[in-house]
C-alpha cells in the first residue's frame, strides 16, 4: 500500500504519437490534456474556489488582527486556522490550477519542496481545528477554569507548537524525498510523491483518524453539556409566565448547537474521506492525474469552508466584515470599535 500524490503523467515511446512534455526526449512524459470546454470549466471553477478561499480567510485575518476586542485566546486559534487556510488558497491551489494541463518543468527539488509545504499547511490546518475543539470544550464544560487555563499567551504557544509539530512531522514523513528529490518520478515532466505503507498509515492516523476522533468526542461532550444547561435553565424558569417563549429560545439554541456539530464533522469527513479511502479500505493506492487532483482539491476545499463554519457563525465577523469592506478600518481609532 502506498500513498501517491502529484502531477502525474505517463511515460511513452516517441512513436505513440502522443504530445510529449519535451518531444526531443524519449524519457519525456505525455502532456496531460483535457477537452477545451472541460478545461475552461475546470479552470474557472477552481480559480473561483481559490479566490474565495483567499478572500474569506483574509477577512478573518484582518478582523482578528485589527480590532482589539477580538484579541482573545479563541480568536488567536481562529487566526492561525485562517492563516493555514489562506496559504492553501494562495500557494497550493494556484500551482495545482497551472498544472492541470501542463507538465512540471520546475525540477525535482522544487517538486519535493512544494509537497513538503503542501503537507505542512494541511497538517497545520487540521491541528488548528483540534485546538479550536479543545478551546470550546474547556469554555463550555469548565467555564470557571477557562480564564486561568486558556490565556492569550498559552493560545499563542499552542499555535507555535502546532506549526512546529506540522513542520517536523512532515519532514520526517518525507525525508526520503528530501534526500533524493524526484525518486518517485517515472519520466521527465512529472511531479509525484509516493509515501510507503508505514508512512502512509502514520499519516492516516495522525492527520485523519486521531484528529477527527478528538474533534467528535470533544464536540459530543460540548453538545451534551449544552443540552444539560438548557434543561437546567428550562426547569429553573418553569413557573415563569414566559415559559413558552423561553422554551422556544432554548429549543433554537439546542438545534443550532446540533447543526453546528453536524456541519463540523460532516464537512471534514466529506472533504478528507475520498483522499484517505484507499488506505482506510486496506487497498493499494494507485491514482491517475485526474482522480488525484479531484481528491486533493476536495481536501483543500475544506480550507474554503472553514471560515464559513468557524467565522460566519460569529456575529462579530459579519460586523467586522462590513467595516472592512466599507473601508471604515482606515479611519483613526477604528481598532477600538465595538465589535462584540
For residue 117, give the CATH number of its domain: 1.20.1070.10
Contact 70, 64 (CB under 8 A): yes
Q: What is the pLDDT of residue 61?
A: 93
- Among candidates 269, 276, 112, 104, which has minimal Cα distance to 184? 112
Is 61 within the bounds of a domain?
yes
Q: What is the pLDDT of residue 14?
A: 46
Q: What is the pLDDT of residue 90?
A: 93
Is 50 within the bounds of a domain?
yes
Work out the number of other CB atoms within 10 angstroms of the CB of residue 238. Answer: 10
The low-confidence residues of the chain, meaning pLDDT below 70, are 1-18, 26, 32, 34, 230, 233-262, 277-293, 311
Q: Which residues pair with residue 193 across a beta bridge?
A: 5
Q: What is the pLDDT of residue 250?
A: 47
Is 83 within the bounds of a domain?
yes
Q: What is the pLDDT of residue 7?
A: 61
Is 57 within the bounds of a domain?
yes
Is 217 within the bounds of a domain?
no
Which stretch of DSSP H or E encloses residue 62? helix 36-66
Domain that holds residue 35: 3-207+283-336
Contacts of 274 (CB under 8 A, 6+ apart): 294, 295, 298, 299
DSSP 118-134: HHHHHHHHHHHHHHHHH
Is 299 within the bounds of a domain?
yes
Phi and psi, residue 314, nearest 5°: -95, 125
Q: What is the pLDDT of residue 59?
A: 92
The predicted-structure confidence for 123-144, as pLDDT tens digits, reads as follows: 898 898 889 888 888 888 888 8
Contact 108, 54 (CB under 8 A): no
Number of structural domains found in the chain: 1
Q: What is the pLDDT of residue 261?
A: 57
Contact 29, 190 (CB under 8 A): yes
Phi and psi, residue 191, nearest 5°: -135, 100
Is 78 within the bounds of a domain?
yes
Contact 112, 182 (CB under 8 A): yes
Is 275 within the bounds of a domain?
no
Matching residue, cell 429553573: 236
Amino acid at each position: 500500500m502506498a500513498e501517491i500524490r502529484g502531477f502525474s503523467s505517463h511515460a511513452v515511446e516517441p512513436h505513440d504519437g502522443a504530445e510529449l512534455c519535451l518531444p526531443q526526449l524519449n524519457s519525456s512524459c505525455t502532456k496531460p490534456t483535457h477537452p477545451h470546454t472541460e478545461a475552461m470549466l475546470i479552470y474557472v471553477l477552481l480559480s473561483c474556489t481559490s479566490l474565495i478561499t483567499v478572500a474569506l480567510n483574509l477577512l478573518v485575518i484582518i478582523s482578528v488582527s485589527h480590532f482589539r476586542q477580538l484579541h482573545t485566546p479563541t480568536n488567536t486559534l481562529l487566526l492561525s486556522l485562517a492563516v493555514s487556510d489562506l496559504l492553501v488558497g494562495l500557494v497550493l491551489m494556484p500551482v495545482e490550477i497551472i498544472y492541470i494541463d501542463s507538465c512540471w518543468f520546475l525540477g525535482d527539488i522544487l517538486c519535493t519542496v512544494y509537497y513538503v509545504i503542501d503537507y505542512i499547511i494541511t497538517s497545520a490546518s487540521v491541528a488548528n481545528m483540534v485546538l479550536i475543539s479543545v478551546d470550546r470544550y474547556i469554555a463550555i464544560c469548565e467555564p470557571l477554569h477557562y480564564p486561568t487555563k486558556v490565556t492569550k499567551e498559552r493560545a499563542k504557544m499552542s499555535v507555535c507548537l502546532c506549526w512546529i509539530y506540522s513542520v517536523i512531522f512532515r519532514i520526517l514523513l518525507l525525508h526520503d524525498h528530501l534526500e533524493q528529490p524526484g525518486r518517485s518520478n517515472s519520466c521527465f515532466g512529472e511531479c509525484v510523491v509516493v509515501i510507503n505503507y508505514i508512512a502512509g498509515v502514520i499519516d492516516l492516523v495522525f492527520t485523519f483518524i486521531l484528529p477527527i476522533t478528538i474533534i467528535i468526542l470533544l464536540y459530543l461532550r460540548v453538545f451534551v453539556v449544552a443540552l444539560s444547561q438548557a434543561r437546567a435553565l428550562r426547569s429553573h424558569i418553569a413557573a415563569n409566565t414566559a415559559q413558552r417563549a423561553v422554551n422556544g429560545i432554548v429549543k433554537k439554541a439546542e438545534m443550532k448547537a446540533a447543526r453546528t456539530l453536524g456541519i463540523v464533522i460532516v464537512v471534514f469527513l466529506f472533504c478528507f474521506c475520498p483522499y484517505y479511502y484507499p488506505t482506510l479500505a486496506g487497498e493499494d493506492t494507485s491514482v491517475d492525474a485526474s482522480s488525484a487532483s479531484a481528491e486533493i482539491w476536495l481536501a483543500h476545499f475544506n480550507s474554503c469552508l472553514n471560515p464559513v463554519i468557524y467565522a460566519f457563525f460569529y456575529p462579530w465577523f459579519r460586523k467586522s466584515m462590513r467595516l472592512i469592506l466599507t473601508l471604515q478600518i482606515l479611519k483613526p481609532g477604528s481598532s477600538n470599535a465595538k465589535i462584540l
